[in-house]
């Protein structure tokens, strides 16, 4: 056996270890992705009716639109912006304003009192 044989055996061993650990990492990531997958439940009767009456996109523009709109809607609904937008839409006609301060000092910033340690 020559030095070249030992070198090639080392490279083969390193390649086998790389493939094994890469595969384990890939499987672990897939498992984690599936565990974090958000479960979206539906109402079977309504889903069936909407699928039946929804039709299919016929033009390229309709296919792109039908692919992008649900993703955009899910992104918006899962964001903090949606909470603020919903609050704005629901509360904009409210006659009540922001709650007033109890002691009349709404603009004054209050700090914790300073405590002197005496030893």
The pTM of the whole model exceeds 0.75: no
| Lookup result for tokens 């700090």 | 111
User: Could you give the CA distance from residue 76 to residue 88 in angstroms, rounded to a whole number?
Assistant: 15
Helix (H) or strand (E) holding 87: helix 80-91
- Dump pLDDT digits (tens) for 49-72: 888 888 888 899 988 988 898 888
Burial class of residue 32 (count of CB atoms within 10 Å of its CB; 0-12, 13-18, 19+): exposed
User: Could you give the CA distance from residue 109 to residue 23 in angstroms, rounded to a whole number?
Assistant: 56
**Domain residue spans of the chain:** 1-35, 62-90
As a residue count, the chain comes to: 119
Tokens found for residue 76: 């918006």
- Dump pLDDT digits (tens) for 66-117: 889 888 888 888 888 888 888 888 877 766 666 566 665 555 555 666 667 6
């Amino acid at each position: 056996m020559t030095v070249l044989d030992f070198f090639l055996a080392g490279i083969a061993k390193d390649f086998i270890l790389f493939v094994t650990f890469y595969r384990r990492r890939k499987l672990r990531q897939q498992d984690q992705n599936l565990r974090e997958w958000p479960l979206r439940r539906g109402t079977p009767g309504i889903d069936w009716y909407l699928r039946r009456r929804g039709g299919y996109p016929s033009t390229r523009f309709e296919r792109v639109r039908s692919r992008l709109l649900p993703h955009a809607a899910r992104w918006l609904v899962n964001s903090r912006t949606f909470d603020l937008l919903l609050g704005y839409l629901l509360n904009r006609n409210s006659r009540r304003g922001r709650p007033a301060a109890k002691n009349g000092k709404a603009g004054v910033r209050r700090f914790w009192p300073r405590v002197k340690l005496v030893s």
